[in-house]
Every structure is written in C-alpha cells, then in structure tokens.
Amino acid sequence: MFMMTRVGETRSMNDQTRRTAINLADYEDLAKQVLPRDLWEHMSGGAADEITLRENVAAFRRIKVVPRVLHDVTHRDLSTQILGQPVSVPVLIAPVSCPARYHSDGELAAARAAAKAGTIFIASTGTCFSVEEIAKTSAAMALTGCSRISEIGRSLISGNK
Ligand SMILES: Cc1cc2nc3c(=O)[nH]c(=O)nc-3n(C[C@H](O)[C@H](O)[C@H](O)COP(=O)(O)O)c2cc1C
C-alpha cells in the first residue's frame, strides 16, 4: 500500500507491517506512522470541540458482541437492504472528502472495495472524482451533504465541481 503525501512523496506500508494490524486501532497507528502530520490530524480529528467524535467512540464501546456458542453457523447471511439496495453486510463506506489526499486512487479505490464487498459506497460532495468516474467502478453509490440535491448533484455529475 502506498500513501501519497501532498508533495507527491510516497511512503510504503509493507505487507509484514499490515499483517500485524488486527483491529481499527492498529490501522490508525499505522496510518499515523505513514501520513504527514497535517493529513493525520485532518483524518483523526473531529469537528470543533470533537464532542461528536467522543460520543461516537463511546457509542461503539457500549455495543457488546455476545458470543453464541453451539449454534449452527454453516449458512451465515448478513445481507439486508439499505436505501432499497441489497447489501451483503450492514456496513457501508462513509463519505470522506477528497480521500485522494491520502491515496492517489482516492474514492475510486474505496468504491471498488465497496463493490467487491457487495455494499454501498457513499460519495462526499467534496469528491476528487466525478460521480460518473466513481460509477464506473460499478459500486452502488449514495451521495451525502447535498441540501439542494438537484443543483449540486447535477454539477458533480457533469464534473463541474
Ligand atoms: C477525514 C474525514 C473526512 C470526512 N468527510 C466527510 C464528508 O465530506 N461528508 C460527510 O458527510 N462526512 C464526512 N466525514 C464523516 C464520516 O463520513 C463519518 O460519518 C464519521 O467519520 C463517523 O464515522 P466513523 O466513526 O466511522 O469515523 C468525514 C470524516 C473524516 C474522518
């Protein structure tokens, strides 16, 4: 995996390093090692007093997974429908403004990953690629942040950002 810095410098995260990551906190630590400080702070920080960020982390900590032993798990199915779209798992890729700052493939890579996993990619209005380019990855896609969807959506689709 290559991370592109704003000045075009790349730093690599080798396979061995990636294999040592087993949870999101580990990936966060790895990202901190390879990203320039300003990008790391943009990615890891929250808005203003970071109250919502803290609430989100606390909310996830309150969710407990209860292991259910001796159940037949031969046929597992996490598929459901979100926004009328069938998805393989109830997990979507959240919108991030211009992820090409972190990786040159930006939202194209994220949308490809969503398509491969059978779920929905949510494009930010701060996208670095046009909606048409992202749509070519064949990912199911939703668009956020458009209070006036017809106007802003049209300009994104035509590439006139
Ligand atoms: C670097 C960064 C950029 C983001 N950009 C957007 C955005 O452009 N539009 C949007 O609706 N949400 C944006 N978000 C919010 C995320 O989509 C998501 O809702 C938020 O990070 C909470 O989810 P999490 O706990 O999985 O990080 C951004 C978040 C981060 C960290």
Average of pLDDT values for 2-18?
52
Q: From CA 66, how far away is CA 72, in angstroms rounded? A: 16
Q: Is residue 131 classed as helix, strand or coil in its secondary structure?
A: helix
CB of 93 within 6 A of ligand 1: the answer is no
CB of 144 within 6 A of ligand 1: the answer is yes
Interval between CA 47 and ligand 1 midpoint (Å): 10
Which atom of ligand 1 lies at the shortest distance from residue 43's CA?
1
Interval between CA 73 and ligand 1 midpoint (Å): 34
Model confidence, pTM: 0.77
Domain boundary assignment for the chain: 1-64, 74-161
Tell me phi and psi for residue 88, to 5 degrees: -75, -30
pLDDT digits (tens, 9 = 90+) for 56-77: 999 999 999 888 899 898 998 9
What residue type is 79 in one-letter code?
A: S
Tell me phi and psi for residue 155, to 5 degrees: -70, -35
Q: From CA 35, how far away is CA 41, in angstroms rounded? A: 9
Chain mean pLDDT for the chain = 82
CB of 53 within 6 A of ligand 1: the answer is no
Q: Is residue 121 classed as helix, strand or coil in its secondary structure?
A: strand
CA-closest candidate to residue 115, choices 107, 103, 126: 107
CB of 124 within 6 A of ligand 1: the answer is yes
Pairing of strands 140-143, 120-123: parallel
pLDDT digits (tens, 9 = 90+) for 13-48: 666 666 788 988 899 999 999 999 999 999 999 999
CB of 138 within 6 A of ligand 1: the answer is no
